Amino acid sequence: MNTAQRVGIVGVTVVAALVAGKLWAQSPTPPAPELTTAERAPAPEPLPQPRGSSAAELPTSSWSGGSSVGILGSTPDGTAFTMNGNAEYFVNPHVSIGPLAQVAFTGDMVQVGLSGQGKYYIDLPGTNNRGKVSLQSGVGFIHSSFRDGDTSWLVPLGVGYDYTLDSGAILTATSLVNFTDLHTGGGSGADVMPGFAFGVRF
């Protein structure tokens, strides 16, 4: 094989290599295989949300109970120490119904009042729903043991303030006016008995 033939063979080989490389570069890249569900990276879990304005809201159809202590004025035996207990069933986050028990003591008297109460709660702006004003009214009966003793109807009307702590406990302050018609003898009795009490509700 002479030199000219060798040069021709080398030239043909170089041209063939260039053409093959160009065709390879122009060929479409095959798509990457789709990952299966198991191979995909799991989605990040959502970050826990901070306690928002609903933190102090009690869910609908839930019960809450509380107790309080204070004073009750204008009873048949004057001003009395009082202990109150109540239970509330929340029809919705702003409306509750339930029983209220009021027990008042003096040196010569024990007085017990039982009533069914309805309450309406109003959120106070700027408190993140922790502070609420409540309005309540109810109807029931009351008995006083002072002197001759008497039992009468009872209509408690009141306004209160509730504040929810981080623990979930609720501090309460309630002003309650009890309307009744007690006649316990000897000119004693009661028709309007205002009271004030501090307590806690869970």
Class (C level, CATH) for 62-201: mainly beta
Q: How high is the pLDDT of residue 53?
A: 36
Asked whether the predicted pLDDT for residue 38 surpasses 60, the reply is no
**What's the whole-number mean pLDDT along residues 187-193?**
97
Q: What is the pLDDT of residues 69-97, one digit of tens each?
A: 999 999 999 999 999 999 999 999 999 99
Domain coordinates in residue numbering, the chain: 62-201
Q: Largest Cα–Cα distance in the chain?
A: 150
CA distance 174 to 198: 7
pTM beyond cutoff 0.75: no
Cβ atoms of 187 and 150 closer than 8 Å: no
CA distance 101 to 89: 15
Gyration radius of the chain's alpha carbons: 40
CA distance 61 to 94: 12
In terms of Cα–Cα distance, which of 131, 109, 113 is closest to 121? 131
Query: Three-class SS of residue 160?
Result: strand
Confidence of residue 165 (pLDDT cuts 50, 70, 90): very high
